[in-house]
Structure 1
Amino acid sequence: MSFFNYAVSKTIMHVPSPVVHHFAKDYVAGNDLDDAVRVCRELSAKGIESTLDILGEYITKKEQALPFKQDCIDILETIHRDKLDANLSVKPSQMGLLMDYDFAFNNLRDIVARAAELNGFVRIDMEDIECNEDTIKIYRILREEFPDHVGTALQSYMRNAMDHLELLGDGPINLRLVKGIFIVTRQQAWRDPELITRNYIQLLERMFELGAYVGIATHDERLYYEAQKLIKKFGLKREQYEFQMLLGVDPELRDLIVSEGHRLRVYIPYGKQWLGYSRRRLLENPNIARAALGQMLRGTGGR
């Protein structure tokens, strides 16, 4: 790890929010749904699909969940009304999971039920270790009722990821596969980047063996290479998988993936509660901070 990357990892949670905003503003669409829709249309014109996400997480009062729930339903209805090539991502902690499982489950079920009515799709994000088991449990229940309209995610740095995948093997599987970024203990997750990458490849291969639809979420060119090998090995058609990337990260790789004939979906976050998301992105990829710092020193900047 370089000194710069080490410094980012140790200090990012304490950096003042205006500084984080300057670093991360190209990676959040804006404050409002209209901002996300605008970015979605820009990407769609390039043949890229989207997933929309209203930022905000780890609520501490049940009444905080209700506006977020309505935001999610508004997103689904906007996607349907405006015929956007997009779906919805939602965080269980935003729906109250860390306070009351049943309350959060009912909120998530209402959202997925509305998606099913509109022929839409909801991705239940995987958050930190406190949400891990309950998120899998909720997904298992909801996929039985709405098999074509809900999915979740697995993180390859988690030591229990393969166990969770095998647990899901008794039904339809729709998963977003990521490396993972939330802070957890060494007993819970691998720390070595090579082990995380190798586990990602093993998980992806097992997902394809189980007939899963996978959102291959990566900005790692090696993983893109390995994924292409597995796609060819299993003879998958274009509609049987997709690649996924974050807004603003490595547009050159993004355009390459599209030019080579793969489906690509870009995660579009928006909302006033952008700080926690932005800090995790900087922790995940200190090169973003390096590039933004260079822009600041040169007197330039992004959108």
Structure 2
Amino acid sequence: MMWFNKMIASILPHMPKRLVWIFSKRYIAGQTIDDAVRVSKQLNAEGYMVTIDLLGEFITELHEAEKNRDQYLNIIDTIQKNQIDGNYSLKPSMFGLLLDEEACYRNIREIVAKAVSYNNFVRIDMEDSSCVDREIKLFRRLKEEFPKNVGLVLQAYMRRTLDDLKNLSELNSKDNPLNFRLCKGIYVEPEEIAYKDYDEINRHYLEDLEFILKNGMYPGIATHDIPLIEGAYRLLEKYKVPKDRYEFQMLYGVTPGLRKSIIEKGHRLRVYVPFGEDWFPYSTRRLKENPKVASDIMKALFIRG
């Protein structure tokens, strides 16, 4: 069955978008800010925090960055007006990171400043290896000006991540702890810079998480992997971490039962809520990560009920 699922997963990205949407709507709030508000209110009512993400990445023209910036400024006003318990995530390549680093910084700084005006927070997502050094540099610059209001994503499958944590630790303080979302990593990278083996990635994830907790940093423990969640529980107990000094994070539409079990144990959890017209690349990436969903899509296409 797995070979069939992988085959379907490889074919679906080349099918008409209306068919791929059958899969996508499980993982995306919708295409408009109203959809994001609706989903976020529902998640808040169920006890979850959210982080709002406008889909899009790797623009090719700098004028697209200004459009994306303006959309984010409007998103922040709308989310705050609706009193959503949530913050914001963004991808720097959407703001020209690979075209003009200074223009990218100016665009994102304006977004962070808008969030700060509401006493809120912006997370800088980590992208593929071509972006890592640039995004760490961007984070350092924004962290200096907005020490309480900006965070970064780190990917445990990258061989460099523990060294990055050690190098960034100079920015950490008790009053303004470094805030990292720690995830496994999703981009296809060569073996010389990224771990490939499942157990090896998990081992390094927990090693990175232990460094974060041991040094008083704030982690967003972003995983749907039960062994990692159980490992995180053990580390949280080992270091007696107060419940307001960490959170779990999960993707919208993924493992809702597991998500519920975490908050029932008294932990805080934040759901990543993506939306926007640029949903297709995000959806096909989710499909490649989780080929077993392909069989569910085929059932939805051909079976009523």
TM-score bin, normalised by smaller chain: over 0.9
2:139 touches 2:151 (CA, 8 Å); kept in 1?
yes
Rounded to whole Å, the distance in 2 between the matches of 1:78 and 1:68 is 15
CA shift for structure 1 position 26: 1.5
2:98 touches 2:131 (CA, 8 Å); kept in 1?
yes
How is 1:142-291 mapped onto 2 (pairs within 5 angstroms)?
Answer: 142-172=142-172, 173-291=178-296
CA shift for structure 1 position 276: 0.7
- 1:61 paired with 2:66, answer no
For structure 2, the residue ranges without an aligned partner over 5 or more in a row are 173-177
Rounded to whole Å, the distance in 2 between the matches of 1:298 and 1:176 is 39
Rounded to whole Å, the distance in 2 between the matches of 1:269 and 1:229 is 30
For residues 112-159 of structure 1, what are the alpha-carbon distances to aligned partners after superposition, in whole Å with 9 as ceiling and x for unaligned? 111112101000100111111110111111111111100010111111
Amino acid at match of 1:102: E
2:5 touches 2:293 (CA, 8 Å); kept in 1?
no
* Residue of structure 2 in register with 1:30 after alignment: 30
Report the identity percentage: 44
Q: TM-score, normalised by structure 2?
A: 0.94
Amino acid at match of 1:237: P
Amino acid at match of 1:283: K
1:80 touches 1:120 (CA, 8 Å); kept in 2?
no
CA shift for structure 1 position 80: 2.3
For residues 44-102 of structure 1, what are the alpha-carbon distances to aligned partners after superposition, in whole Å with 9 as ceiling and x for unaligned? 11110100111111111111011211111122222322221010111100000011111
Q: TM-score, normalised by structure 1?
A: 0.94
CA shift for structure 1 position 298: 2.5
Structure 1's 11 and 203: CA in aligned 2 closer, same or farther, altered over 3 A? farther
Amino acid at match of 2:245: Q
1:23 touches 1:293 (CA, 8 Å); kept in 2?
no
Rounded to whole Å, the distance in 2 between the matches of 1:38 and 1:68 is 21
CA shift for structure 1 position 5: 5.1
Amino acid at match of 2:3: F
Amino acid at match of 1:20: V
1:23 touches 1:292 (CA, 8 Å); kept in 2?
yes
2:2 touches 2:292 (CA, 8 Å); kept in 1?
no
1:215 touches 1:243 (CA, 8 Å); kept in 2?
yes
1:201 touches 1:226 (CA, 8 Å); kept in 2?
yes
Rounded to whole Å, the distance in 1 between the matches of 2:193 and 2:9 is 19
CA shift for structure 1 position 290: 2.9
CA shift for structure 1 position 291: 2.6
* Residue of structure 2 in register with 1:20 after alignment: 20
For residues 10-68 of structure 1, what are the alpha-carbon distances to aligned partners after superposition, in whole Å with 9 as ceiling and x for unaligned? 55654443332211212111110010000000011111010011111111111101121
Amino acid at match of 2:124: I
Structure 1's 221 and 299: CA in aligned 2 closer, same or farther, altered over 3 A? same
CA shift for structure 1 position 175: 0.5
Rounded to whole Å, the distance in 2 between the matches of 1:132 and 1:11 is 30
Amino acid at match of 2:58: Y
2:49 touches 2:85 (CA, 8 Å); kept in 1?
yes
2:122 touches 2:150 (CA, 8 Å); kept in 1?
yes
How is 1:44-123 mapped onto 2 (pairs within 5 angstroms)?
Answer: 44-123=44-123
Amino acid at match of 2:244: E
CA shift for structure 1 position 287: 2.5
Secondary structure of 1:27 counterpart: coil
For structure 1, the residue ranges without an aligned partner over 5 or more in a row are none
Structure 1's 158 and 75: CA in aligned 2 closer, same or farther, altered over 3 A? same
CA shift for structure 1 position 288: 2.5
Amino acid at match of 1:258: I
Rounded to whole Å, the distance in 1 between the matches of 2:190 and 2:65 is 28
Question: 291, 295, 299: which one pairs with 1:294?
Answer: 299
* Residue of structure 2 in register with 1:129 after alignment: 129
Secondary structure of 2:53 counterpart: strand
Amino acid at match of 1:276: P
